[in-house]
Structure 1
Amino acid sequence: MKHLVNKILVLTLSGLLLSCVDLEEKPVGILAPESMFRSPKDVETAIFGAYGWIATERLYGRQFVSALLLRGDMADIGDRGTPAERQQVNDFNMDDNNNMVNQFWPVWYQVISASNAAIAGGESLKLTENEINPLIAEARFVRAFSYFHLVQVFGDIPYIDYFITDPGTVKDISKTPQAEIYQKIIADLEFAKQWLPDQQPKGVRSRPSKGTAASYLASVHLTLQDYPKAYAEAKYVIDNKTKFGYGLVPDFQDLFRAPQPGNLQEHIFAIDFLGLVSGDGGANDDIMPPMTGIRGADAPKSGWSVAVPSMAVYNTWDSRDYRKEVSIDDSARIGGVLQPYTVFANTKRPHIAKYARFTGRSNSEGRYSDQNYAAMRYAEVLLIAAEAAGEVNGATAEAIGYVNEVRARARNWAGRQTNFPANVAPGMSKADFINLVLEERRLELAFEYKRWYDIKRRKLGEQVFKGPNSLEPHPNFDPNRDYLMPIPRNELQINPNLNPQNPGY
C-alpha cells in the first residue's frame, strides 16, 4: 500500500475532513457530504484519511499501542526516568488526567469521523449497491475496528455513527452501553464481510477484505464469549484461506523484518508506515522501535528502554523456541562490541526485538520505520479457532490441529528444522487445553498488543499480577477498577452527560 501512503499524508496534513472530538467547540466533522463527495474517489480519499490517523504517533505509532503493551504482563517499564504517565499506566495507579489517554482518545474519534464522512459521502452519491457498497463497507470496517479498541479499553463510551454537520448535535451526547456498541460493531463487520472484495488490489493488507471482516467478527465474538460464532467465523477464514491469500509465512522472523511486502500472506490487516516520512500531528511517525530499543546500543537497536520484558518473561520462555529468539534481544552491539544484557546502560534486562531489530528505512533509533504492523494475522485466526472450538467441544483433534499448525511453523528456526515446540498430544482436559491455547497466544503474539485484551476478556488480572507465578507483579491491581481506563477528565468537564466516570477514578 506504499502508493497510498502519500495520499494519506496529504489528507492528514491538510485536515480537510477531520477535527478533534472536543465536544464543546471543536466539531467532530465540519463538512456536509454533498459539498465534498462527488465521486467514489472522494469516498476512497476519506477512507485513506482514516488510515492516516491510525498510522500516527498517537495511535499505532506509540501512545495507544504502548499503553496496551505496558498494561499487560509481558512488558514492564524499563527506564524509570520515562514520563510518569507511562509508569502510571503500567503500574495501575493512573488517574483520569493521564496524558497517554488524553492523547489517543480524541484521535480514535478522528478516525471514526473520517469513516462516518466516507459512509455519508458514499450514500449521498446515490449509486447502485455494487458501485458504492464496497467502499461503504471499507469505511464501516474501519469504524468497527476503532470502536472495538475503544470499547475494550473504556467500556461505555459515546457512540457516533453519523456525519456531523452541526456540532450542537453532539455537544450533549451521552455514553452508549458497551453491549449495544458491540452489536453495532458486529453489524458493521457483517456488512463489511458481505460487500468487501475477497482481496484488495495487489493483495494489499492495509485495506480490509472479506477475510479481514470475518477475522474481526471471530475476535469480537471471542471477546463476548460467544464461542460457536467465534468458531464459525474463524473456520470460514481458514476454509477460504486460498481465496483470501492467507497462510503462515515459513520464517517467523520475516513477520518483523521491515519493510514487509504489502501483500504478506500472514497479514490479515496491517498498519502501514512509510520509512523516513512524517508530517504534522505525528502523521506516519512510528516511535515503537525506540520505545522498545536498547538505550546506548548501536543503531538500529538504539532506543529508550521504555517498554522492556521482566526477567521472569525472559527466564520462563524456553530458549529452544525460535519465537523467543525473534521476539527478544539479550545482547547488542555497543560501541561496535557485542555485549550481553547485563551491561546494558540503565535497564539490564533483555529487550523486545520485534520492532527494533529490522526497522527498514529509519533514523538511527529506528524512528520513522518501514514497519507494516500486523493488527491481525493468520496465526491469530488459527488460535481463535482453537480456543473457540475447545470451548464448544473440548480438546478435539481439530482444535489441537490448529495449535499444532502454529507450532509447526515455530519449529522452523530460520530454515533449520527443530523439534520444539512439540505437537500438542491428544487427551487433554478442556480446561487444560484452553489454558494451553492462552499460553500459546501469549508467546506467539508476544508484544503485539494482544495480551492485555486476553487478560481482560478472561479476567486473569488477579492471577497474572498477584499470583505466585506472576511475570510482572502488581499487588495493587484492582479488578473493580483496572480492567477499564478512565474517560479523560476534560471530556467529562466539557460534557457532564458522559458521567459517571469509570469506577475507581
Structure 2
Amino acid sequence: MKKKLLLLGICSLGFFSSCESFLEEKPYDFLTASNFYQNEGDAIAGLNGVFSLMQAQTYYGRTVWLVTELPGDYMAVVGATTGDRAELSRFTYTANNGEIGNWWVNNYRLIGRANDLIDKVPAVSMNEASKNNILGNARFLRALAYFELVRSYGDVPLITSPIKGPNDDLRPARTPKAAVYEQIIEDLQFAEANCLKENQIPAGNKGRVSSGAAASLLAKVYLTRASSSDAKGTDNQDALAACNRVINSGLYSLMPTYGDVFLPDRENNAEHIFSVQFDLPPNVGNIIVRQNLPAALGGFASFTAEDWFVKSYAATDVRKDWNLSNKANTTTLPQYYFNKFRDDKRIGNDSRVNWLVTRYADVLLMQSEALNNLNAADVTKYQGINRVRQRAGLAALPTTATTKDAFVDLLVLERAWELCDEGHRRYDLIRLNRLKQVEKTIFNRDISDNYLLFPIPQTEIALNPNLTQNPGF
C-alpha cells in the first residue's frame, strides 16, 4: 500500500519546484498515477491519500490555526516580538513569512492530489454511486483548499487537472477570484449532490465528506463572496438556502453541553459536520493542545488570551470557563490561556483532537448573518444566534438591533465567544468588515488595506515569473 500511495500526488508534494525536480526523476520502482487506479479499492486508497495530506503540522495540524487566529484580535504571542508568529499577530508579515508559505504550499499539495483522483477515477469500473461519492469527497477537498487560498491571497492560479509531463504549464499565472469562486461552487454543488448523507457514512469512515458538509461550506462561500467585490446578487439568498438545507435535514444538532463538542471521547458527534481527523501514535496527532497549554502543564505556553476578550464574556456564559483558564494545577497564572481543546491521553505533541472545519453552531450563526444581510428588519435573524446563546446559558437577545451594522456587531462578538480558536477569526473580521476597526479600537493599530490579504510567498514568485505580488508587499 505504501508503494501505491507514493505516487498518488504527482507534483503535489510542492507546487512549482517539486514538480520540476520530480519530473526529472525516472519512476523505476513505483506505480504512476496513470496505472494506479484499477479498481474500487484503488480509488478508496487514493481518496485516503488525499485526506492524509491534511494532517501535516504545516497544514491542518498547526499552520491553519496560526494563519487564521493570530491575525485577529483575541490571541497574543508569548515572549516574541519577531518571527513568523509575531508578524502574523502584529500585522507586519512579509512575503518571507514561513507560515504563510506553508499555507500556500499545502493547499496546492491537496489540490494536486485531488486533481489526480478526479482525473483518473471516472474511468474505474465500479458502482456509479460509490464512484461519485469518492469524486464528491475529492471535489469538496479541492474546493476547501481553493476557498482557503482565495480568502487568504485573492487571485490565485486555478489548476483543475493533474500535471502529467514537462509540456504542461508549470508556471501558471494568477486567476481572477471570480473564476476561482465559480469553480469552488461547482465542486461543492457536485459534492452536495453525490456525497453520502451524514447518517449513511459508516462508523469506520467518520471524517469523510457528507452532503451536509458540502452545504455548510457552500453557505460560507456564498457569504464570503457576498462581502467581496465579486458578489453576485443571489449570494446571500443562496447562503441562507444552504444553511436551511443543513438545519432542516435533521441530521445535526447542538450538543447539550458546550464542552462536549470538543472532547476526543465524543469526537464526530451530532454537532460536527466536517473535521480533519487526528489520533495518537502510530497515527498522526494534533499539536494544538500542547501549543496552548502553559509550561506547568507540559505545554509550550505559546499564546495567551487578550485581556479584553477574557473580560468580554458574561458571568453566566459557560463558554468562558471552557475556552479559557488561568489555572495550572493549584497555581493561578497571571494571564489566561486557551483551554478549549483537551486530551487526557495526549502523548507529547500528539493529541486526538480533531480540527473542526465546520460545525452546527457555525451554521446557525451563518443563517442569522444571511438573514441580516437580506433584510435587517427581519426578526427571524435572531433565531440562530439565540439558539447558540441559549446553550451557553445566556438570555436571548432582544430584537432591537434593526440595522444591519448593529446586528453585525452582535455577530462579531458571538462568533468570537462561540468559535474562538477554531480557525474563523481572521476570516470573520474581514468578511464582516470589522478587522481594521477592531485593530484600531483594541490595539490603536492602523491596518492598511494590503494586510487584508497575505502576500504571495516569495519562494513561489522566485520559481514562477508569471506570479505577481499583492499590492503593498
TM-score, normalization by structure 1: 0.85
Partners of 1:13 and 1:35 lie apart in 2 by 12
Output one character per residue of 1:165-223: Cα deviation in whole Å (capped at 9) or x when no partner.
11441322111111110110000000111111112222855111111111111110011
Name 2:103's counterpart in structure 1.
104
Name 1:286's counterpart in structure 2.
286
* Match of residue 315, structure 1, among 311, 317, 330: 311
Decide whether the 8 Å contact of 1:62 with 1:287 is kept in 2. yes
- Map of 1:5-404 to 2, 5 A cutoff? 14=6, 16-18=8-10, 19-24=12-17, 26=19, 33-80=33-80, 84-125=83-124, 129-199=128-198, 200-202=201-203, 205-225=206-226, 226-240=235-249, 242=250, 245-261=251-267, 263-277=268-282, 284-295=284-295, 297-298=296-297, 302-333=298-329, 338-342=330-334, 349-355=335-341, 358-364=342-348, 367-404=349-386
Tell me how far 1:130 sits from its aligned partner: 2.8
1:495 aligns with 2:464: yes
Decide whether the 8 Å contact of 1:122 with 1:132 is kept in 2. yes
Partners of 2:181 and 2:33 lie apart in 1 by 27
Tell me how far 1:393 sits from its aligned partner: 2.4
Partners of 1:249 and 1:395 lie apart in 2 by 30
Q: 1:165 to 1:103 in 2, by over 3 A?
A: same
Decide whether the 8 Å contact of 2:207 with 2:274 is kept in 1. yes
Amino acid paired to 2:98:
N
Partners of 1:363 and 1:303 lie apart in 2 by 11
Q: 1:119 to 1:459 in 2, by over 3 A?
A: same
Name 1:424's counterpart in structure 2.
397
Decide whether the 8 Å contact of 2:84 with 2:97 is kept in 1. yes
Amino acid paired to 1:478:
S
Output one character per residue of 1:86-129: Cα deviation in whole Å (capped at 9) or x when no partner.
11111111111111122232121111111111111212226564
Amino acid paired to 1:464:
V
- The DSSP-based 3-state class of the residue aligned with 1:439 is helix
Q: What percentage of aligned pairs have identical amino acids?
A: 29
Q: 1:128 to 1:259 in 2, by over 3 A?
A: closer
Output one character per residue of 1:422-443: Cα deviation in whole Å (capped at 9) or x when no partner.
0122343132223212321121
Decide whether the 8 Å contact of 1:60 with 1:271 is kept in 2. yes
Partners of 2:420 and 2:190 lie apart in 1 by 31
Partners of 2:123 and 2:74 lie apart in 1 by 47
Amino acid paired to 1:493:
A
Decide whether the 8 Å contact of 1:68 with 1:449 is kept in 2. yes
- The DSSP-based 3-state class of the residue aligned with 2:275 is strand
Decide whether the 8 Å contact of 1:21 with 1:28 is kept in 2. no
Partners of 1:271 and 1:330 lie apart in 2 by 28
Tell me how far 1:401 sits from its aligned partner: 1.4
Partners of 1:203 and 1:408 lie apart in 2 by 33
Partners of 1:12 and 1:227 lie apart in 2 by 44
Decide whether the 8 Å contact of 1:323 with 1:444 is kept in 2. yes
* Match of residue 483, structure 1, among 447, 452, 464: 452
Decide whether the 8 Å contact of 2:412 with 2:432 is kept in 1. no
- The DSSP-based 3-state class of the residue aligned with 1:224 is helix
Q: 1:27 to 1:49 in 2, by over 3 A?
A: farther
Partners of 2:178 and 2:407 lie apart in 1 by 29
Amino acid paired to 1:141:
F
- Structure 1 stretch 97-106 or stretch 197-206: which is displaced more? 197-206
Name 1:4's counterpart in structure 2.
none
Output one character per residue of 1:305-329: Cα deviation in whole Å (capped at 9) or x when no partner.
2222111211222232101111001
TM-score, normalization by structure 2: 0.90
Q: 1:492 to 1:288 in 2, by over 3 A?
A: same
Output one character per residue of 1:222-248: Cα deviation in whole Å (capped at 9) or x when no partner.
1112211111110111111x2xx2111
- The DSSP-based 3-state class of the residue aligned with 1:477 is coil
Tell me how far 1:285 sits from its aligned partner: 4.3
Partners of 2:454 and 2:413 lie apart in 1 by 25
Tell me how far 1:400 sits from its aligned partner: 1.1
Q: 1:28 to 1:149 in 2, by over 3 A?
A: farther
Decide whether the 8 Å contact of 2:75 with 2:305 is kept in 1. yes
Decide whether the 8 Å contact of 1:331 with 1:340 is kept in 2. yes
Amino acid paired to 1:269:
F
Amino acid paired to 2:431:
R
Name 2:28's counterpart in structure 1.
none
Q: Which runs of 4+ in 1 moved over 3 A?
A: 10-19, 27-34, 126-129
Q: 1:503 to 1:205 in 2, by over 3 A?
A: farther
Decide whether the 8 Å contact of 1:205 with 1:264 is kept in 2. no
Partners of 2:395 and 2:88 lie apart in 1 by 36
Decide whether the 8 Å contact of 2:74 with 2:308 is kept in 1. no
How many matched pairs? Answer: 454
- The DSSP-based 3-state class of the residue aligned with 1:277 is coil
Give me the CA root mean square deviation.
Answer: 2.2
Name 1:281's counterpart in structure 2.
none
Decide whether the 8 Å contact of 1:20 with 1:27 is kept in 2. no
Tell me how far 1:377 sits from its aligned partner: 0.1
Partners of 1:137 and 1:12 lie apart in 2 by 22
Q: 1:202 to 1:391 in 2, by over 3 A?
A: same
Instruction: Give 5+ residue unaligned stretches, structure 1.
Output: 1-6, 279-283, 343-348, 412-420
Instruction: Give 5+ residue unaligned stretches, structure 2.
Output: 24-30, 227-234
Name 1:454's counterpart in structure 2.
428
Tell me how far 1:29 sits from its aligned partner: 8.6
Amino acid paired to 2:209:
P
Tell me how far 1:11 sits from its aligned partner: 8.1
Q: 1:395 to 1:332 in 2, by over 3 A?
A: farther
